Amino acid sequence: MDIYLIRHGKAVDLNNEIVEEGYRYLSPEGRDLSYEVAKKLKDLKTGFDLIISSPLVRAVQTAEIFASVLNHKGEMKTAIELVGGISFTRFMQLIKRNSHFKSIAFFGHSPDVNHFSVNLIKEHSVPELKINFKNCSVCKIQYNIKSEEGKFAWFLRSDTMELMR
C-alpha cells in the first residue's frame, strides 16, 4: 500500500478571535501553498483511494484543497488518531483498519507526521532521510502491511518543491 503523510498548511496565529488551537484555520499563504503542492502531486500523477485528516480545521482544509485539485472521488474522513500526540501504535491501528485501500493520504500535524514516517521506514536512519515536515510537505512510503515494513519512496519539500528520492 502507498501511504502519504502530509503536514497541514500554514495556519493563522492564535489571537483575540481564535483562542483555541483546534480552531486555527489556513492562512491565505497556507491555502496557496496547499494548492501548489497538490498541483505538484497531480503532475506526479498521484492519487489517493482514501483521505484521512486530523479533525482540526487547518488539517481538514488542507485535505479538502488536495482533494479538489486531485479530483478525489474516494472517501474522505477524519480520525482522532491524527489530532496530535497520539502514539505510533494507535496510528498503526488506524492503518490496519484501512489496509484494504491501496493508497491512503494522512493529513496531520508536526511532529507526529515526522515521527510516523520515520517509524514506518525501518531501513533508513533519520539523518539520511533529512525529513523535515514544513507546512504541506509530503512523504510517500510504500508499506507492506503483512511484514509491517515500509520503504521510503520520496519526500516533497514544500518550501523548495524539491522531490527527494
Mean pLDDT of the chain: 93
Residues 137-152 as b/e (b if ≥16 CB within 10 A, e otherwise) read: bbbbbebeeeeeebeb
Query: Are the beta carbons of 70 and 48 closer than 8 angstroms?
Result: yes
pLDDT score of 16? 84
- Lowest mean pLDDT segment, chosen from 39-43, 88-92, 138-142, 145-149: 145-149
Among 14, 32, 25, 12, residue whose Cα is nearest residue 136 = 32
Confidence (pLDDT) at 126? 47
The amino acid at 117: S
For each of the domains in the chain, give its residue range(s) and CATH number, in order of start: 2-164 (3.40.50.1240)
CB atoms under 10 Å from CB of 129, counted, come to 16
pLDDT digit string, tens, across residues 64-103: 999 999 999 999 999 999 999 999 999 999 999 999 999 9
